């Protein structure tokens, strides 16, 4: 493969090694040090993509992160990555890339006919063209838009790579390694600061990489930094967001420059960096100029063409024309000339300039006071039309395959602006520069509006010293160059045509004016109406140009129109990096009880309960299906005895002289009257009067309580207690400790519960007289300390045994052995739920943040005397309205009908929902399905029939309204 | 991400804390009229500027801290114990 546009010498590529790569199936060659873009240009490839909306042919426009056009799908299969900027993708041997947004091929794109229907795709086209009829959206418009206007395709397989997250701290963070950044890092490092330097490029140096004259200074500075142990340099690391309190987010592309990551290496690292001070040396972005067909392949930012020539040894064309309004761009052109590119001339809207003088001295034709009025060529530029500004006369066609454009340079203030620094207008640059920072933040170099290597380095040294809170260190600076800039603000050629201000989103100057005419005059509105600056490049090269067009339409100055708010991300970040290691099983912590291993050995089917993994049921071969297991387990509890792991319950140890008074203030119940050695079911309200949680509280000593909460509210109840103790009643002598993980718990329930545990519990009299319902006491099982609570969730005779988590399996096994003669059956969460619904106990579906104690039939638990959280507001008329939905039981009138949670309860012929079913189950105590529901006028409706409507399945079932207590309403069994 | 200097634990990330709202309201006495409880639960000044608020160091010392935070800039002026009196600076 030839690289016909590669120079013989020069640049920072290694010509001794050749890297093979493929683009759209064709093989090419490049060198280490290339980007995909520079290698394609070296091979003479000019057409690299089609535009988003209009499918216009596009070439490489920039040499960096601001690239709007040259987006590729990189790699294949599970590693296929869409919308990769060819200008930042580092070339490696075997790289595979494909152009995007073309069908069937890049050169012959049928959808470029979009260009012919372009009037339909003007500003706000989504809102106008596709508005009516609504049904067309789903069936016609959206598929059409998706097929024709999508960007690249994401991989469909799971990402095979790993992404790491790094938490970092430093004294001084320097963003950017150009002259300013290097100088800042060196000064801060010399002052003893802990410095982190982030550079998005794979090579350090920024603009210095294209300036051979300053190579020695760059080398010397990097060597000095390498010798400083507290300076960390992170190449391939893009700082994409500046957040509050000097926290920034950055992505390090650890292995993107390789076909796949080496073993034990992540593809990328997501850095969260907390910096005491931040130096923003992010450089500047060259601006485009709007003129007709300014998007043709072969039209490129002047600085980019210089970078390709000076850094990569690539001629981006054979014959170059420059269209520029500033002197810095002339230096770029001269670099092209020095690299062997023929120069067609310079078009300059200024009448006279230092740049024009220098060009003429080099024998270059300069059309002063002129503008480019159009570009010729389809998939490759063949020439540009040039005319005098304002003159009515004809234009000249200048033959060129490379048109370098420079409308000036906008400091890259995105991060500074995200970091709360106000922007100010620089007349000299016709651009925004950072104003005084409010955070400990220092912009430097081109990002601060200071152009020129020597000036930028000096500014960086100043910023580095300020950031390190040190006196400016005396470091060597690069030699001064030609400081002439002489910019004349010039945004748009004043001729009709399709002049783009946003290449990626296909937004033209006319689109901006149309938005203005249609009332979208604010910059934020015009942005959203036209999609200007909303692409992956975030309008880095055309954002201000669009604002200038809007300003002209409004008859105002550019600086008075402002810019849309800069937000993260300044550059695209892959989802993999954001998710990091928190995927799949690692998305959230998994909590396991102390009995988890036993459940696994027993073959339990597990289910998620918040972060907990709990046994749903324990299937045995005889079970036909899951329901068979659940019903078998529940029947065992009703008939003999079952055992269930309830370790997930929240447990809070409350101690101190004022413990009883404290609990009295938090619960609707009174705990100060609870005798030692007894437990009480407690109900807790939120301050707004709604039920918060329920659980059992035991009194272990006068000044010592043991509180249990629901599994889901273990954390919130603890925080609720701490809040009230610390902020409302700090005078109370109370200490709280969460002991949820310290105690394992098991519920032994069924008519044979006492017979079972009576065999093994020592040092505690379990006889009915000594240990009645709601008794609590300490004992031991096989030498393990246990706390036994005689409480029941199932409605059967039941005990909870708590034991320090390390003893859990010993105690559990002892119970199983003791219960062997009664065929003791372990039961899971499903059977637990079945049993509690039969008993009419409320749980999460009923404690849903909308229900009061009275709604749940628990009004008797609310004390009449004394204050407690939620007392006052529970008495609001809205919460005491007798017409509120209350808890009832539900059975299908036809016993084999199925009930569904979420079904609405209506009277026949009506569509007014009077309530809804909260929980359902198949029952064991009675036949068929049962459920709990919240129903208006529920008490009066008991015994009547209603319809349970489930419109999602188009299902209606006739139901009987019953008491919510299907089992032992008199509560005799628990005492038996 | 804001960072809060816990008097017990030092400078810590926002992710260790749980926001618990306005610290300028306090629970009315037991015999207060229901309107006072309504205001305590629901009425908030929602200022643009400095605000005294509760931040629970849930991932740390479990203390409710009084934090003076600027609602627009997220700047933190001071952090104190629940029992402290926090002075709101001029805008
Ligand atoms: Zn703390």
Class of domain A164-284+411-467: alpha beta
For residue A174, what pLDDT is reported?
A: 98
Kindly tell me the number of DSSP H helices and DSSP E strands found in chain B: 1, 6
Domain topology for A1-157: Ubiquitin-like (UB roll) (3.10.20)
Kindly tell me the number of DSSP H helices and DSSP E strands found in chain A: 26, 48
Q: Six-digit token pair at A723?
A: 């809040």
Q: Is B39 on the interface with A (CB under 8 A)?
A: no
- A368 C-beta neighbours (distance < 10 Å), count: 16
CA distance A122 to A129: 9
Whose CA is closest to A322, among A407, A394, A207?
A407
- A123 C-alpha to center of ligand 1: Å? 52
Q: Which CATH superfamily is domain A289-406 in?
A: FAD/NAD(P)-binding domain (3.50.50.60)
- A679 C-alpha to center of ligand 1: Å? 34
Percent of chain A whose pLDDT exceeds 70:
95
CA distance A381 to A316: 12
Question: Choosing among A245, A420, A719, A867, which should be mutated to test the B contact, i.e. which has the most B CBs within 10 A?
Answer: A245
pLDDT at A880 over 80: yes
Read off the pLDDT of residues A891-904 as tens digits, 9 standing for 90 and up: 999 999 999 999 99
Read off the pLDDT of residues A31-67 as tens digits, 9 standing for 90 and up: 999 999 999 999 999 999 988 888 899 999 999 999 9
Q: Is B64 on the interface with A (CB under 8 A)?
A: yes
Distance from CA of B36 to the nearest CA of A (A): 9
| Mean pLDDT in residue range A231-244 | 98
- B3 C-alpha to center of ligand 1: Å? 12
- CB-CB neighbors (< 8 A) of B58 in chain A: 719
In chain A, where the domains are located: 1-157, 164-284+411-467, 289-406, 491-565, 596-618+626-648+742-827, 651-738, 880-967
For residue A129, what pLDDT is reported?
A: 53
| Mean pLDDT in residue range A674-694 | 97
**How confident is residue A231, by pLDDT bands cut at 50, 70 and 90?**
very high
Read off the pLDDT of residues A440-469 as tens digits, 9 standing for 90 and up: 999 999 999 999 999 999 999 999 999 999
**How confident is residue A540, by pLDDT bands cut at 50, 70 and 90?**
very high
**How confident is residue A147, by pLDDT bands cut at 50, 70 and 90?**
low
Is the bond preceding residue A147 a cis peptide, omega within 30 degrees?
no
pLDDT at A839 over 70: yes
Q: What is the CATH number assigned to the segment(s) A651-738?
A: 3.30.70.1400
Indicate yes or no: CB of B82 within 8 angstroms of CB of A730. yes
Stretches where chain B sits below pLDDT 70 are none
* C-alpha angle A375-A377-A382 in degrees, rounded to nearest 5: 80
CA distance A836 to A834: 6
Distance from CA of A935 to the nearest CA of B (A): 27
Q: Is there a contact between A942 and A888 (Cβ–Cβ < 8 Å)?
A: yes
Longest dimension (CA), chain B: 41
What length is written for chain B? 91
Read off the pLDDT of residues A260-305 as tens digits, 9 standing for 90 and up: 999 999 999 999 999 999 999 999 999 999 999 999 999 999 999 9
Q: What is the rounded average pLDDT for all residues in chain A?
A: 94
Whose CA is closest to A59, among A17, A139, A5, A10?
A5
H-helix segments, A352-503:
354-361, 414-418, 453-468
**Domain B3-81 is found in CATH 2.40.110.10:** no
Q: Which CATH superfamily is domain A596-618+626-648+742-827 in?
A: Probable tRNA modification gtpase trme; domain 1 (3.30.1360.120)
E-strand spans in A773-854? 776-781, 784-789, 798-804, 825-826
Q: Six-digit token pair at A252?
A: 């390090």
- CB-CB neighbors (< 8 A) of B34 in chain A: 872-873, 875-876
Q: Is there a contact between A99 and A93 (Cβ–Cβ < 8 Å)?
A: no
Indicate yes or no: CB of B58 within 8 angstroms of CB of A872. no
DSSP A103: S
Domain topology for A491-565: Arc Repressor Mutant, subunit A (1.10.10)
Q: Six-digit token pair at B77?
A: 């002026």
Indicate yes or no: CB of B64 within 8 angstroms of CB of A875. no
Q: Is there a contact between A443 and A425 (Cβ–Cβ < 8 Å)?
A: no
Read off the pLDDT of residues A755-800 as tens digits, 9 standing for 90 and up: 999 999 999 999 999 999 999 999 999 999 999 999 999 999 999 9
pLDDT at A132 over 60: no
Q: Six-digit token pair at A564?
A: 């849309």
pTM: 0.91
Q: Is there a contact between A329 and A322 (Cβ–Cβ < 8 Å)?
A: yes
| Mean pLDDT in residue range A200-226 | 97
Whose CA is closest to A773, among A744, A749, A743, A804?
A749
For residue A149, what pLDDT is reported?
A: 47
CA distance A122 to A511: 6
Q: Is there a contact between A938 and A887 (Cβ–Cβ < 8 Å)?
A: yes
A164-284+411-467 and A289-406 in the same fold: yes
For residue A53, what pLDDT is reported?
A: 82
Task: Find the closest chain B residue to A870 by CA distance.
Answer: B37
Read off the pLDDT of residues A149-197 as tens digits, 9 standing for 90 and up: 457 788 889 999 999 999 999 999 999 999 999 999 999 999 999 999 9
């Amino acid at each position: 493969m030839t690289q016909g546009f590669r120079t013989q010498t020069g640049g920072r590529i290694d010509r001794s090694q050749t890297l093979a790569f493929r683009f759209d199936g064709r093989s090419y060659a490049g060198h280490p040090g290339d980007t995909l873009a520079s290698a394609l240009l070296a091979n003479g490839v000019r057409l690299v993509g089609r535009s988003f909306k209009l499918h216009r042919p596009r070439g490489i426009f920039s040499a960096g992160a601001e690239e709007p056009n040259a987006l590729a799908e990189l790699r294949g299969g599970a590693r296929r990555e869409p919308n990769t900027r060819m200008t930042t993708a580092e070339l490696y041997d075997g790289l595979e890339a494909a152009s995007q947004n073309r069908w069937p091929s890049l050169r012959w794109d049928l959808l470029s006919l979009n260009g012919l229907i372009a009037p339909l795709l003007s500003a706000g086209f989504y809102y106008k063209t596709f508005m009516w009829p609504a049904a067309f959206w789903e069936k016609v418009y959206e598929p059409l838009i998706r097929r024709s206007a999508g960007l690249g395709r994401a991989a469909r397989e799971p990402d095979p790579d790993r992404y790491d997250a790094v938490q970092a701290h430093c004294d001084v963070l320097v963003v950017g390694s150009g002259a300013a950044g290097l100088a800042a890092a060196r000064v801060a490092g010399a002052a003893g600061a802990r410095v982190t330097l982030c550079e998005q490029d794979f090579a350090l140096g920024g603009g210095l990489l294209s300036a051979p004259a300053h190579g020695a200074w760059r080398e010397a500075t990097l060597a000095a930094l390498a010798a400083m142990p507290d300076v960390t340099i992170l190449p391939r690391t893009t700082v994409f967001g500046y957040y509050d309190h000097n926290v920034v987010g950055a992505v390090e592309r650890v292995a993107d420059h390789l076909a796949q990551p080496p073993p034990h290496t992540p593809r990328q690292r997501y850095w969260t960096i907390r910096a005491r001070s931040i130096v923003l040396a992010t450089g500047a972005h060259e601006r485009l100029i709007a003129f007709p067909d300014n998007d043709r392949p072969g039209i490129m930012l002047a600085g980019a063409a210089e970078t390709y020539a000076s850094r990569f040894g690539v001629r981006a064309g054979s014959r170059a024309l420059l269209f520029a309004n500033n002197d810095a761009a002339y230096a770029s052109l001269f670099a092209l000339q020095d690299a062997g590119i023929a120069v067609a001339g310079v078009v300059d809207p200024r009448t006279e300039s230092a740049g024009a003088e220098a060009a003429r001295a080099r024998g270059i034709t300069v059309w002063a006071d002129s503008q480019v009025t159009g570009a010729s060529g389809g998939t490759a530029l063949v020439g540009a039309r040039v005319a005098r500004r304002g003159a009515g006369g004809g234009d000249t066609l200048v033959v060129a395959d490379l048109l370098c454009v420079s409308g000036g340079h906008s400091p890259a203030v995105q991060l500074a602006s995200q970091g709360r620094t106000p922007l100010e207008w620089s007349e000299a640059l016709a651009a925004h520069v950072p104003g005084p920072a409010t955070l400990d933040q220092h912009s430097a170099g081109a990002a601060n509006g200071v152009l020129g290597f020597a000036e930028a380095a000096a500014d960086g040294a100043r910023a580095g010293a300020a950031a390190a809170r040190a006196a400016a260190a005396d470091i060597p600076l690069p030699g001064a160059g030609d400081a002439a800039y002489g910019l004349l603000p010039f945004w748009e050629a004043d001729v009709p045509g399709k002049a783009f201000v946003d290449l990626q989103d296909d937004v033209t100057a006319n689109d901006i004016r149309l938005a203005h005419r249609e009332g979208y005059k604010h910059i934020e509105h015009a942005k959203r109406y036209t999609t200007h600056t909303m692409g992956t490049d975030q309008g880095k090269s055309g954002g201000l140009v669009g604002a200038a067009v809007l300003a002209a339409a409004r008859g105002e100055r550019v600086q008075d129109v402002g810019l849309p708010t800069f937000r993260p991300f300044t550059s695209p970040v892959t989802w993999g990096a954001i998710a990091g290691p928190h995927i799949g099983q690692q998305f959230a912590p998994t909590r396991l009880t102390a009995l988890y291993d036993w459940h696994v050995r027993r073959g339990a089917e597990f289910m998620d309960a918040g972060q907990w993994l709990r046994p749903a049921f324990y299937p045995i071969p005889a079970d036909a299906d899951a329901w068979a297991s659940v019903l078998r387990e529940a029947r065992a509890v009703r008939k003999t005895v079952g055992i269930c792991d309830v370790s997930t319950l929240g447990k809070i140890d409350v101690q101190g002289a004022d413990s009883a008074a404290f609990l009295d203030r938090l619960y609707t119940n009174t705990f100060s009257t609870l005798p030692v050695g007894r437990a009480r079911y407690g109900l807790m309200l939120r301050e707004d009067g709604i039920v918060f949680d329920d659980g059992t509280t035991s009194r272990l000593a006068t000044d010592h309580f043991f509180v249990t909460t629901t599994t889901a509210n273990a954390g919130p109840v603890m925080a609720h207690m701490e809040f009230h103790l610390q902020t409302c009643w700090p005078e109370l002598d109370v200490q709280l400790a969460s002991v949820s993980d310290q105690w394992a718990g098991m519920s032994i329930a069924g008519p044979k519960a006492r017979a079972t545990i009576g065999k093994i519990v020592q040092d505690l009299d379990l006889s009915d007289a000594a240990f009645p319902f709601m008794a609590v006491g300490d004992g031991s099982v096989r030498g393990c300390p246990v706390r036994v609570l005689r409480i029941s969730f199932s409605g059967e005779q039941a005990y909870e045994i708590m034991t320090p988590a390390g003893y859990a399996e010993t105690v559990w096994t002892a119970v199983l052995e003791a219960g062997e003669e009664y065929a003791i059956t372990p039961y899971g969460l499903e059977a637990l739920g079945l049993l509690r619904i039969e008993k009419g106990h409320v749980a999460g579906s009923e404690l849903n943040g909308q229900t009061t104690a009275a709604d749940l039939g628990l009004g008797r638990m609310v004390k009449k005397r004394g204050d407690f959280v939620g007392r006052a507001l529970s008495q609001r008329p809205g919460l005491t309205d007798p017409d509120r939905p209350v808890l009832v039981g539900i059975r299908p009138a036809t016993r084999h009908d199925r009930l569904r949670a979420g079904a609405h309860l209506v009277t026949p012929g009506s569509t007014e929902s009077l309530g809804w079913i909260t929980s359902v189950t198949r029952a064991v105590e009675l036949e068929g399905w049962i459920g709990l529901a919240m129903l208006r006028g529920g008490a009066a409706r008991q015994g009547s029939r209603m319809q349970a409507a489930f419109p999602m399945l188009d299902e209606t079932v006739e139901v009987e309204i019953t008491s919510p207590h299907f089992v032992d309403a008199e509560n005799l069994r628990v005492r038996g | 991400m804001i960072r809060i200097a816990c008097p017990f634990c030092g400078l810590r990330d926002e992710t260790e804390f749980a926001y618990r709202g306005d610290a300028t309201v306090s629970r009315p006495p037991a015999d207060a009229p229901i309107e006072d409880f309504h205001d305590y639960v629901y009425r908030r000044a929602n200022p643009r500027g400095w605000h005294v608020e509760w931040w629970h160091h849930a991932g740390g010392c479990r203390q409710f801290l009084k934090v003076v935070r600027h609602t627009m800039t997220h700047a933190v002026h001071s952090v104190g114990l629940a029992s402290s009196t926090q002075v709101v600076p001029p805008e």
